[in-house]
Structures are given as C-alpha cells and as structure tokens.
Chain A
Amino acid sequence: MSQVLVAMSGGVDSSVAAALLKQQGHDIVGVTLKLWGGESDSGCCSVSDVEDARRVANELDIEHHVFNFGEEFDEFVVDPYVADHQAGLTPNPCVECNRHIKFAKLFRRADALGISQVATGHHARITTDATGVRRIARGADDAKDQSYVLHMLGQEELARVLLPVGDITKERVRELAGELGLRTADKPDSQDVCFIHSTGGREVFLGDRISLKPGKLVDNDGQQVGSVDSIELVTLGQRRGLNLGGDQSRRYVTAIDKQAGVVTVGPKSDLLVKTQLLSGFAWTHEPLDGSFLVQCSAHGSTREATLETTGENYVLRWSEPQPKVAAGQSVVLYKDDAVVAGASAADGDVQATVEAAS
C-alpha cells in the first residue's frame, strides 16, 4: 500500500487513527504539527502533546516527525481570528485551520515528501457514490461528529484523505486505545480554541492584541439594562455572560452596533429571520436543488432550508423562521448526513438584497 501521513495531535482520536491504519497494513508516518508558539493549555501544540504523540508513535512502532507550521498558523488562523473579532465577526478558527493548515499546507508538505495520502483523527466519514463523487458524511458518533468543520474539503482533497475513526464511536476509540495500551486512552478531549489559555480566555488573548472597548446593553426601548467590558467578545444570539440578573426574562443579544458601542438585548423572537445571507459559498461537487439540512454551529442541530441564488448572492430561505446566524460562522448544507456545500454567514439585510436583485 502507498504511504500515509497521519496527523497526530497527541490526542486519543489521532492515536487510534494511526493504530487502525497500521493494523490495516498501511505504511504510515506520524507527524505532529507545531502550530502555536505562545502559551496554551488545551491545544494540540504544547510540548507535552508533542511528547504524547511521539510516545504513541513509539508504542505503535511508527516513524514520527514534528513539522513547524507556526508561521502559516499565525497568518491563516490566529491573525484572521483577531481581525475578525475586531471587525465584529464570529470566526471559527478550527475551520480555518482545517482549510489552510491541515488540508492545504500539510497536503503540500505531503507532496514534497512524495506521500499521496493524509489521515487525521476527525470524527467524520468519506462516502463515494456510484459516479465516484466523494462527500464528507457525519461520523458514526453523533455527539462527536466533526463533518461541520470539514465542510471545505473538495473532491481533490477528499480523494487523498483518510478518516479512520469516523466509523466508530468515541467510546470505541477509547476502548481501542485501552486495548492497545496507548497512553492517550484516557486523555481528556481538547476543549475550545487550542491557542487560547483557559485561565485568561478570549478576553486576555484578544486584549493583548487589540484594544477591547466597553459596550452598553440596551433593551428594545433604548433603555440601558447593563454593560459589557468588551463589545468585541459579544456574539449575536448570546445569552450567557451578559450579567442581566436572574430575575430578568431570558434575553439574547439581538443586535450589535460596534461603532456606537451598543448591544441590543431582547427576546429570542427578535432574532428570528426567514432568510440568511451567505458568503464564500462552495459546493462540494455540483450544485444541487431542493431542500437542505443546515447546520450553523459546531455541535448545533440542523434546520431545513432551501437555497436561492440571486446574482452573486446565496441566500438560505428557512422553512421555519430561525435565529439569525452571527456573521462569520460556518453554515454547512447537508443532504441526509452528507455535506454538500459550505459557506459563512454574512451580515446584511437579506430581504433588501433579494428584492433589489430580483
């Protein structure tokens, strides 16, 4: 069999991915990507995680290398993450890391090394239909499914990717790791954004890089009901962390005017929209018609919608009104359990856009 480059983060999923590929008889090379040079505790790039990956590779008797993609990670993931917050967007750094690092830079590196295939420990499957069209499909473990963050993979990438743990549950992954005696069997799942330290959180991370500005919280009547320290950290649809007091009826962020420093809170119904404007829309293969199941956050539920294209614009029309999606979030379209397209939520008055174009 041809060689496979296995991205090993030092976590249990990629450890088992490597083990499974080895069992299947692949000639594999383990590689850990050093991505973040700064302080972090949850990430895939600390020295102890590299050590875990290296020791798992030893246990599996496979070669292990460390590649320093720190510069590309800064350029394509960290810097845009900061800039997006500055611009009032809600970025998804894991998606950008997959898009630019794991499934682009690592592919180019594999090319340089003369290795055709790349494997990761993502919980998702790759399906191939009768005509040879490949798609990212939901992993066997619903709760751990990562198809959403892999939505950007096109035909060319999918032909080269192996996702060995997509067919099994997380529980089974841990069982296998235990059976194989891998040191990562009980290692906790990584949480949140890998380059952000849990003690300081986003506030400290962003505060070190951009100036965070306080904001006023107002209700629909313009009455001030509270305040936030950093308006850059507020996300559309947010409820927690607004300190509005327990006796308040449930209130959500329904609008953010960063320029004016004003955040409007209101009932969930204020967030509901019939349509959602998209940007950066891309089909996995050819365009499809009909209705789609749409997922708008990493572990969010799906909602039904149809797709309308007007000129340059792609617009989702929800079958039932849905909360507006924060601009910058990935919006992923599925047919059944397979990804058929991906995009980002865009800001803008959709009704006006659609009407103006038609």
Chain B
Amino acid sequence: MVHYFDNAATTAMKQSALDAMIPLLTQTYGNPSGAHKMARDANRVLDDAREMLSNVIGCKPGDIVFTGGGTEADNLAIKGIVDLQGGLAVCSAIEHHAVLHPVEALGGKIAPVTPSGVVDLEALASLVDEEVSVVSVMAANNESGVIQPIGQIADVIAQKNPAAVFHCDAVQALCWLDIKEHCAKADLLTLSAHKFGGPKGVGALIVRDGHKIAPQLIGGSQERERRGGTQNVAGAIAMAVAAVETDAQRNEKVKQVARLRDRLVEGILSRVDNVVESGVTDGDRSHKTANICHLCFEGVESEALLFLLERKNIMGSAASSCASGAAEASHVLAAMGYSKSQAVGSLRLSLGYETTDADVDAVIDYLPIAVQQIRGANR
C-alpha cells in the first residue's frame, strides 16, 4: 500500500474528470476553431468548461484563458503585462519559480516575507511605486502552505499605485481555499488542473474584465487572441469538472484533512526532537492550508530521509529540486529566515482529499526511526 504524501506536487485525477475527458479524445475530437459540426460540438464543450470554471472562480467565462499549465499562465501574466505596459514587476520572495524567474528576468523587485512566511505588507507597500505595472503574490505557498492575505495585499497595491495589476498564483489554493472569496480582489489568477484532480498539461489564467495582456504565444486567435494554439478541449473540460467537484467537497474535506495533518505534525513533533515546523510558533498553524506538514529536521539530509520513507512506501518531498532531480536548497525557507543547515533537512508531506488515518500512522510509526538512523550516520 502506497502512502502518497505529495499532493502539493500533483494529485491523482478524479474519476469524474477522467470520464469527462475521454469522449473529447475519441469522439468529439473536432478542432474547436473549425466550422463543421464536430468542431462546433468541441467548441460547445469548451464553452461549458469555461462556464463551469467561472462559477467556481467567481469570474466571467470570457475572463478565462486556457493554457498549457500553471507555469505558462504565470509567465503569461507577468510578461503579458510588462510587454504591454512596460514598468516593473514585483513579487514576493516565496513565489514559485514560475513567477520568481520571469520577474527576475525582467529586472523586477522582490518583497520579503516575515518569519511566519507571510509577505511583509509594509515592505511590499514600499516597493509598489509608480513605476510598477504588475505585482504578483501567491494565494498559498507550495512548500510551507502559508496562506497570503490576498485581499489586504490588493488594498495595499490599490493605495500605493491603483494602476498596477495584481496577479495571484492560486495554483496551490483551489482544494483548500474558496478562491471566489479569497482571491476576489486579484486582477489576474493562475490555476493548474493537476493540483486538484485534473490532468497535467492544462491550466488557466483568469484575466478579469477590463484587463489586457500581451499574448506570449502568437499565431492563432484562440482564447480571444490571448493565447494562440488549438485548445486542449479534453483537458479544459476535465479541469472544469475537477474544479466543480473540488469546490463542492471543499468545506468538508478541509476539516477532515486539517485533523489528519495536525495529527501527523503533532505525532512527529512528539516523537522526534530538534524539528521545526516552518512558519509556526506555539503550534498555531491557522495561517497554513490544511494539507501541508512542512518540517525541518536538524542533522538530517532530505535526500536520505525521502529514500528511507520510500522504503516504507511513503512518498514525500523536499519540495525543491533542480533539473537533475537532486534536492536543492529552498528559496522559500531561506526567505523565511531558516538557516541552510535547517533547510537541507526539510520534508514536505502534503495531504490530499484521499489521505487516511492509516497513511498518517505509517509516517508516525516509521519517520522517527528513519531520522534516528540518519542522525546516527551523520554523527
């Protein structure tokens, strides 16, 4: 039995999403840009997908630009604004590389976070001057699970420079936060289907009414000329179905998963010493999404810990890796003020809607043994 604790990396597809996509690949496979019936049928499904997704997100169907995933949507947001308006991009220091690297590549500015992992609002305010055209802050961090106050951030931006566009990378959020509410004030929003039971290779950038972006893929008038290329209709409908189902389950699942996560964290903390939980003081993890157990073990290297956990069919993550697949020092932990020696021992166990008590028990039973073995060898 596999104990899957890497739901922040990707999730299993929901059966409903898979069922929804198959006919689009084998029967209704027309190109939605075409004129004939099969094309029109496919286009109708695309319209349905847009409609369904817009209800979950709280936007207009026409605001949705389907993309090849979250990274593309993030790039489209940052570069799409700077290309069109010029000016500077600003993002937080804990953004996913899909945001951080485009912002850095464009010579943008980086806002620090507090030790609890929340963007420093004062520091952000001081960076958002008249030169700034786009500000990007994620809804919830992929490593620490720390939720960012999107509404407050929007207010700060509006105060400092109302012309600046606010982009929110909500890739990690949909399973754990009501985006409709939490991200209501963001102008642009990034989603990725495979984080909530949809397929890989499809995502969306929500471009709220009135905002314009320069397309990054040109050569087709699809997505209202904001993203050229034949649409992944099967992916889009599967994404929409997964989003709708997730949205319906969320309230109940958040409670269930938070209980499991708390039991997991507390079970580990009570059995292993010299561990810190990222961004948490006095056991208060109310500012984190329900699914994230993110710990740093002193005197342990993540690679060794993950190896041993895998031996017991426990699939976790160090949450940051390079192209070769090797673990890499986390920029998120560094931004939160953790030392390198703490960061090399990081472990992210990310739960999902399917995680069970038995999964949690498997980790609590074995992880202390693995940590002891590694610390013994490194002594």
- Assuming the contacts A112-B304, A113-B304, A113-B308, asked whether A32 and B324 have C-beta atoms less than 8 A apart, the reply is yes
Pair A112/B373 contact, Cβ less than 8 Å: yes
Stretch at the interface among B95-103, B216-224, B230-238, B325-333: B325-333
Pair B378/A50 contact, Cβ less than 8 Å: no
B2 within 8 A of A: no
Query: Using Cβ atoms and an 8 Å threshold, which residues of chain A touch B303?
Result: 65, 67-68, 109
Tell which of A66, A109, A111, A112 touches B326, judged by Cβ atoms closer than 8 Å: A66
A317 within 8 A of B: no
CA distance A133 to B12 in the complex (A): 54
Residues of B349-379 whose CB lies within 8 A of A:
373-374, 376-378
B1 within 8 A of A: no
Q: Measured between C-beta atoms, what is the minimum distance from B304 to chain A in Å?
A: 4
Pair B304/A34 contact, Cβ less than 8 Å: no
CA distance A50 to B377 in the complex (A): 26
Pair B307/A68 contact, Cβ less than 8 Å: no
Query: Using Cβ atoms and an 8 Å threshold, which residues of chain A touch B324?
Result: 32, 34, 45, 47, 50, 66, 68
Q: Measured between C-beta atoms, what is the minimum distance from A69 to chain B in Å?
A: 8
Pair B322/A108 contact, Cβ less than 8 Å: no
Pair A34/B377 contact, Cβ less than 8 Å: no
Pair B326/A67 contact, Cβ less than 8 Å: yes
Pair A68/B378 contact, Cβ less than 8 Å: no
Q: Measured between C-beta atoms, what is the minimum distance from A299 to chain B in Å?
A: 30
B105 within 8 A of A: no
Tell which of B322, B326, B373 touches A114, judged by Cβ atoms closer than 8 Å: B373
Tell which of A54, A68, A112 touches B322, judged by Cβ atoms closer than 8 Å: A68
Query: Using Cβ atoms and an 8 Å threshold, which residues of chain A touch B373?
Result: 112, 114
Tell which of A37, A45, A47, A108 touches B378, judged by Cβ atoms closer than 8 Å: A108
Tell which of B328, B374, B376, B377 touches A68, judged by Cβ atoms closer than 8 Å: B328
CA distance A66 to B377 in the complex (A): 19
Query: Using Cβ atoms and an 8 Å threshold, which residues of chain B touch A45?
Result: 324
Pair B327/A112 contact, Cβ less than 8 Å: no
Pair A112/B377 contact, Cβ less than 8 Å: yes
Query: Using Cβ atoms and an 8 Å threshold, which residues of chain A touch B328?
Result: 68
CA distance A111 to B324 in the complex (A): 23
Residues of B311-325 whose CB lies within 8 A of A:
322-325
Pair B377/A111 contact, Cβ less than 8 Å: yes
Query: Using Cβ atoms and an 8 Å threshold, which residues of chain B touch A68?
Result: 303, 322, 324, 326-328
Interface string of B296-314 (1 = CB under 8 A from A): 0000010110011000000
Interface string of A45-66 (1 = CB under 8 A from B): 1010010001000000000011
- Assuming the contacts A113-B307, A113-B308, asked whether A34 and B378 have C-beta atoms less than 8 A apart, the reply is no
Interface string of B7-20 (1 = CB under 8 A from A): 00000000000000
Interface string of B144-181 (1 = CB under 8 A from A): 00000000000000000000000000000000000000
CA distance A50 to B325 in the complex (A): 9
Query: Using Cβ atoms and an 8 Å threshold, which residues of chain B touch A70?
Result: 326
Q: Measured between C-beta atoms, what is the minimum distance from A29 to chain B in Å?
A: 8
Q: Which of A34, A67, A108, A112 has the most CB of B within 10 A?
A: A112
CA distance A274 to B324 in the complex (A): 50
CA distance A36 to B181 in the complex (A): 46
Pair A66/B325 contact, Cβ less than 8 Å: yes
Q: Which of B307, B323, B326, B373 has the most CB of A within 10 A?
A: B326
Interface string of A198-210 (1 = CB under 8 A from B): 0000000000000
A70 to B, closest residue via Cβ: B326
Query: Using Cβ atoms and an 8 Å threshold, which residues of chain B touch A112?
Result: 301, 304, 308, 373-374, 376-378
Query: Using Cβ atoms and an 8 Å threshold, which residues of chain B touch A67?
Result: 303, 326
Pair B374/A34 contact, Cβ less than 8 Å: no
Q: Measured between C-beta atoms, what is the minimum distance from B370 to chain A in Å?
A: 9
A33 to B, closest residue via Cβ: B326
CA distance A45 to B326 in the complex (A): 11
CA distance A19 to B299 in the complex (A): 34
Q: Measured between C-beta atoms, what is the minimum distance from B194 to chain A in Å?
A: 22
CA distance A113 to B370 in the complex (A): 8
Interface string of A106-134 (1 = CB under 8 A from B): 00110111100000000000000000000
A64 to B, closest residue via Cβ: B325
Query: Using Cβ atoms and an 8 Å threshold, which residues of chain B touch A54?
Result: 325
- Assuming the contacts A68-B327, A114-B373, asked whether A109 and B322 have C-beta atoms less than 8 A apart, the reply is no
Query: Using Cβ atoms and an 8 Å threshold, which residues of chain A touch B322?
Result: 34, 37, 68
Residues of A53-112 whose CB lies within 8 A of B:
54, 65-68, 70, 108-109, 111-112
CA distance A34 to B321 in the complex (A): 11
CA distance A238 to B358 in the complex (A): 67
Query: Using Cβ atoms and an 8 Å threshold, which residues of chain B touch A66?
Result: 324-326
Q: What are 17 contact pairs spanning A and B, CB under 8 A? A: A34-B324, A47-B323, A54-B325, A66-B324, A67-B303, A67-B326, A68-B324, A68-B327, A108-B377, A108-B378, A109-B301, A109-B304, A112-B308, A112-B377, A113-B307, A113-B308, A114-B308
Q: With A66-B326, A109-B301 given, name 6 new contacts (CB 8 A).
A: A32-B324, A37-B322, A45-B324, A66-B324, A70-B326, A113-B307
8 nearest interchain CB pairs? A68-B326, A111-B377, A34-B326, A112-B377, A112-B304, A50-B324, A112-B374, A66-B325
